[in-house]
């Protein structure tokens, strides 16, 4: 079991959605929080809610795609707080476009925040956990780290990469006292679709339609997602699936690894074939 009470927990992408809910849930369990995001107003609101329940929190304006900034953040945590105990790499963004329309700039934008931000956060804080001989690293992947969907090549690439990196790290940390978890949320009621980048030629007409469609499909609240994540941390679960949809898709992928698309997607559905199901905008 991972002890939460009194521990210092780092949460990126904490200005809204899953990040905010997880930070608040950790505070309820007695953790001290150090939270980050690029959304100054949202970050302040999260801190206000944590303080309202008697929690301890420090906020950091941080772009997780900036490696030097992430390492400076980790150094400040070590100097000011004695090092992290729990690290939750949650910050994420989405890009909705078919592969032939996807620009390199947009692809790199997603990978730098979703994947490299997670790598930087892990490597910057891992020495602190190793020095203590204990701790927990939690990397947030997605339902789309289990299956691939049309119009989500960049997001799928990042979330599959997070899964692979996290599973490799878990094997490496065996016997060290450091637990490692990969989170796969299904449809969570966050603003990630509204904050996503769309193909510029269709952005104005598609964004609200996509967001509304996602809202209809998203069944799990961020608060429920936060509860599941924190419970998974306490129980040292290597994989944390959130929502009935994530659990069903996980089984479907195992049963039909090469043909699940025949059941899930229709060509004429276009960009709405699949929408990202987790995370919080970091920009």
Active site residues: 155
Mark 8-44 as b/e (b = at least 16 C-beta within 10 Å): bbbbbbbbbbbbbbbbbbbbbbebbbbbbbbbeebbe
């Amino acid at each position: 079991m991972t002890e939460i009470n009194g521990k210092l927990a780092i949460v990126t992408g904490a200005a809204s959605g899953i990040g905010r809910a997880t930070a608040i849930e950790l505070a309820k369990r007695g953790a001290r929080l150090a939270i980050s995001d690029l959304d100054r107003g949202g970050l302040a609101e999260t801190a206000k809610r944590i303080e309202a329940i008697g929690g301890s929190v420090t906020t950091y304006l941080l772009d997780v795609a900036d490696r030097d900034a992430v390492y400076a953040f980790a150094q400040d945590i070590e100097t000011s707080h004695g090092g992290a105990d729990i690290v939750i790499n949650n910050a994420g963004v989405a890009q909705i476009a078919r592969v032939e329309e996807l620009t390199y700039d947009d692809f790199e934008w997603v990978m730098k925040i979703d994947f490299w931000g997670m790598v930087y956060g892990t490597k910057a804080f891992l020495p602190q956990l190793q020095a203590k001989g204990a701790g927990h690293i939690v990397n947030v992947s997605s339902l789309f780290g289990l299956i691939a969907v049309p119009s989500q090549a960049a997001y799928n690439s990042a979330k599959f990469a997070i899964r692979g990196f996290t599973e490799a790290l878990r094997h490496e940390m065996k016997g060290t006292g450091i637990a490692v978890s990969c989170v796969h949320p299904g449809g969570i009621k966050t603003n990630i679709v509204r904050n996503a980048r769309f193909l510029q030629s269709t952005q104005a007409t598609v964004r609200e339609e996509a967001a509304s469609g996602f809202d209809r499909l998203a069944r799990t609240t961020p608060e429920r997602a936060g509860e599941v994540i924190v419970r998974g941390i306490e129980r040292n679960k290597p994989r944390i699936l959130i929502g009935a949809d994530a659990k069903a898709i996980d089984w479907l992928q195992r049963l039909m690894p090469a043909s699940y698309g025949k059941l899930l997607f229709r060509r004429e559905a276009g960009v709405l074939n699949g929408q990202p199901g987790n995370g919080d905008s970091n920009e």
